[in-house]
Amino acid sequence: MNSNSVILPVHNAQQWLDECLMSVLKQDFEGTMELSVFNDASKDQSMTIIEKWKMNLEDSGIPVVIGGHDSPSPRGVGYSKNQAIIQSTGSYLCFLDSDDVMMPQRVRLQYEAAVQYPTSIVGCQVRRDPPDSTERYTRWINQLAPDQLLTQVFTSHGPTVIMPTWFCSRAWFFHVGPFDEGGKGVPEDLLFFYEHLRKGGGVFRVDHSLLLYRYHLYAATHSVLEMTIWTHRVHFLEEQALPGWESFTIWNAGKQGRRLYRSLSAASRRKVVAFCDVDENKIKKGFYCHEDSQERPKPQVPILHFRAAQPPFVICVKLDLTGGEFEDNLKSLHLQEGRDFIHFS
């Protein structure tokens, strides 16, 4: 049987580590499993806690590899994950964040899926702590349909299976990776996910809640600027989706739709035949004029009612926020996600 390495980057995680490491010990996987910890310049008691757990884990047959550095400042999540992977030996990699807790069946169920889907990133459903911290996001993570794991990769939510639930083969990881090591402010998981999709990788979710996914102010996610992610997303949309369309409509003549239009390259902007909306005031204006355009005359893009607009659509309306009205409107057009429309918001 192939072996699994649990990949655990650590930076000042003392308040969560006991629970996190206990969840490694409690795995019901019966094959070979090791824990690979990389300490990224922690200044708290993280290393003392890890050394204490090393004996417990090794007594239970789970070898622990520990690496790290004690420079004045951390090198970041991408670097730490890469180092933890390099020092590990397993044929499969199970990613774990130091503030999260695995359910006992996580490694077993995700390993079974990863063997079946060797070029996929395998994720799982999650339970959020505190439960009401990110309700829309958590619902999205847990309820995407299997085909939406590939059609909703352009949204602001990021990867359709979230990084702390990732599980994949070592061979596939090195085919795609490593992670970007730019450090603080770099969305290394998003960049890896995009590269994975470029290389034809699949996305699979085990439909069991296998991770307690913590939300708190110290999470590394909060250091990434929305503008950084926006720029990467627009670039990926232009690279992966728009070349297949001769023209398209932006669904939302408001702020988000106009922002997307302005962010596109000149070649992509020329493909925008219209905006569409339900807001009569916007539709009455008749068109949107791109004031900053260098073109003469400045482009004027028609604003239509959504029923008068032509697919395909890039949708800049946030799901779940209109009491179902937007979703009903979209359903009434009988379109196919991925081919006739793409969610961008």
Q: Over the stretch 175-185, which tens digit does the pLDDT of each residue have?
A: 999 999 998 88
Answer whether residue 218 shows pLDDT above 70. Answer: no
Going from the C-alpha of 124 to that of each of 38, 121, 165, 179, 198, the distances in angstroms are 24, 10, 6, 21, 22
| Other CB atoms within 10 A of residue 329 CB | 16
Quote the DSSP letter at residue 32. Answer: -
Helix (H) or strand (E) holding 226: helix 226-240
Tell me how many degrees the CA angle 2-96-86 measures, rounded to the nearest 5.
60
61-106 tens-digit pLDDT: 999 999 999 999 999 999 999 999 999 999 999 999 999 999 999 9
Answer whether residue 309 shows pLDDT above 80. Answer: yes
Give the whole-angstrom CA distance, residue 342 versus residue 250.
10
What's phi and psi for 159, nearest 5 deg? -55, 140
By CB atoms closer than 10 A (0-12, 13-18, 19+), residue 13 is buried
Radius of gyration for the chain, computed over Cα atoms and rounded to the nearest angstrom: 22
| Other CB atoms within 10 A of residue 91 CB | 16
Residue 178 has, within 13 A of its CA and on its CB side, a CA count of 13
Give the whole-angstrom CA distance, residue 153 versus residue 192.
12
240-264 tens-digit pLDDT: 999 999 999 999 999 999 999 999 9
pLDDT, position 183: 87
- Split at pLDDT 50, 70, 90, the class of 149 is very high
Helix (H) or strand (E) holding 313: strand 313-315
Coil/strand/helix, residue 232: helix
Single out the residue of 76, 21, 14, 8 nearest to residue 46, CA to CA.
14
pTM of the model: 0.95
Answer whether residue 221 shows pLDDT above 70. Answer: no
pLDDT, position 131: 87
30-60 tens-digit pLDDT: 999 999 999 999 999 999 999 999 999 999 9
Strands 202-214 and 101-102: antiparallel
Alpha helices in 60-199 (DSSP H): 77-86, 106-116, 135-143, 148-151, 170-176, 188-198
**65 pairs with which residues across the strands?**
36
Instruction: Encode burial over 255-290: b for 16+ CB neighbours within 10 A, e otherwise.
Output: ebbbebbebbeeebbeebebbbbbeeebbeeeebeb
Instruction: Note whether 72 and 43 are within 8 A (CB).
Output: no
For the segment 303-315, the average pLDDT, to the nearest whole number, is 97
For the segment 203-218, the average pLDDT, to the nearest whole number, is 92
- Split at pLDDT 50, 70, 90, the class of 219 is low
Q: The tokens 């774990």 sit on which residue?
A: 96
